[in-house]
Structure 1
Amino acid sequence: MTDDVRLRPKTDAETAAWLPVAMAAYEQARRVAGDDAEQAAAGRRASEEQYFPDGRLVDGHALFTIEADGDDAGWLWVGPMADPANWYVYDVEVHESHRRRGLGARAMRLAEEVAREHGAVNLRLNVFGYNTPAIRLYEGLGYETAALHMQKAL
């Protein structure tokens, strides 16, 4: 396990470089979860317009680089929902080369600290049903299913 894990706020330049990468991953995840290409692209556009209207993250949200022993190990984006007592993990990713070292759990605990520091009493997230490693991670951290969307291909 890595000893030194911390969250470092991304600079504007880092955010600009991160945004197309993260949004492409989000669009692909939506396709794997069942959206067609048009729906996935529309979801991506809506997210970018809502949260990055000028290419910069809206006020009140926080975007971090997850650093492990000084290396860029991934990213974390958290922020308030409509009710600021409820915060949301909008995106979290541990790079493949840093996985299976406990970094996801450590990053999520740091996300909880950030949310608490901003007055949150709940931290919520969405995980696509096909992502069983992430589901196991979140369940192991005490997250409970709050809603369940199901579908059947016809």
Structure 2
Amino acid sequence: MTALTLRPMTDAEYSAWQIALARDYAAEKVEAGQWPEEGSVERARRENAELLPEGRSTRRMLLLTAVIPTGEAVGRVWIGLDHPRGVQGVAFLYDIEVHADRRGAGMGRALLEAAEGEARAEGATALELNVFGSNETARALYDSAGYAVMAQQMRKPL
């Protein structure tokens, strides 16, 4: 397995992540037909700001950078220690990303396992996440890592 560790995001990493996160999340919401394209990035930024009112210092949020032994940053993870719907003991994985040039080498699995370890160390007994249906790679990773579907939203074009 790929060796990596997690450390808190720096200010610069957090700033860059906020831009990338809003763009990526908005694009997924638009692709899923849940938001119109116009104003989607701004909407994503607002939603993220509501969840992170104190930025990197927001209490009960883990904002972490994945690094390999050489010190190179290869990904990021955002975990909320309090479930958004109040499920006791269940942390929530808001974002997990391996840098594009590092994908396909086991980093995703290593990052997911490290994230689970961080949540467990903070007292979580389970970790929940949402994944867009079109993200087949992520869905396969979560399936193989033992995640179970708790709810499923489906659509058929008419």
Fold-level similarity (TM above 0.5): yes
Cα distance in 2 for partners of 1:31, 1:47 equals 15
Cα drift, residue 38 of structure 1: 4.6
Instruction: For 2:107 and 2:148, locate their aligned partners in 1 and report how far apart those are by CA, in whole Å.
Output: 20
Give the whole-Å Cα distance in 2 for the aligned partners of 1:47 and 1:57: 17
Contact 2:22 2:41 in 1 (8 A): no
Q: Is the 8 A contact 2:93 2:129 kept in 1?
A: yes
Helix, strand or coil at the partner of 1:62:
strand
Q: Equivalents in 2 of 1:53, 1:125: separation in Å? A: 21
Structure 1, unmatched stretches of 5+, are none
Mapped partners of 2:133, 2:110: distance in 1: 22
- Number of equivalences: 153
Residues 92/49 of structure 1: CA separation in 2 closer, same or farther (3 Å cut) = same
Q: How far is 1:132 from its partner?
A: 0.7
**Identity across matched positions, percent:** 36
Which fold has the larger relative contact order, with Cα–Cα distance below 8 Å and residues 6 or more apart in sequence? Answer: 1
Is residue 84–residue 119 contact of structure 1 (8 Å, CA) maintained in 2? Answer: no
- Of the three residues 139, 144, 147, the one matched with 1:135 is 139
Matches within 5 A, 1:52-131: 52-56=52-56, 58-69=58-69, 70-80=71-81, 81=83, 82-131=86-135
2: CA distance, partners of 1:58 / 1:150:
34
Q: Which runs of 4+ in 1 moved over 6 A?
A: none
Calculate the TM-score normalised by the size of structure 1.
0.88
Question: Quick check: 74-83 or 40-49, which moved more?
Answer: 40-49
Q: Deviations over 1:95-130 (max 9, x none)?
A: 111111111111111111111111111100000000
RMSD: 2.0
**Structure 2 unpaired stretches of 5+:** none
Q: Which residue in the other structure is 1:34 paired with?
A: 33
Q: Is the 8 A contact 2:93 2:128 kept in 1?
A: yes
**Secondary structure of 1:119's aligned partner:** coil
Which position in structure 1 is the counterpart of 2:14? Answer: 15
SS at match of 1:14: helix
Could you give the per-residue CA deviations for residues 39-60 of structure 1, whole angstroms, max 9, x where no partner exists? 8447514422322335445211
Distance 2:88 2:68 in 1: 29
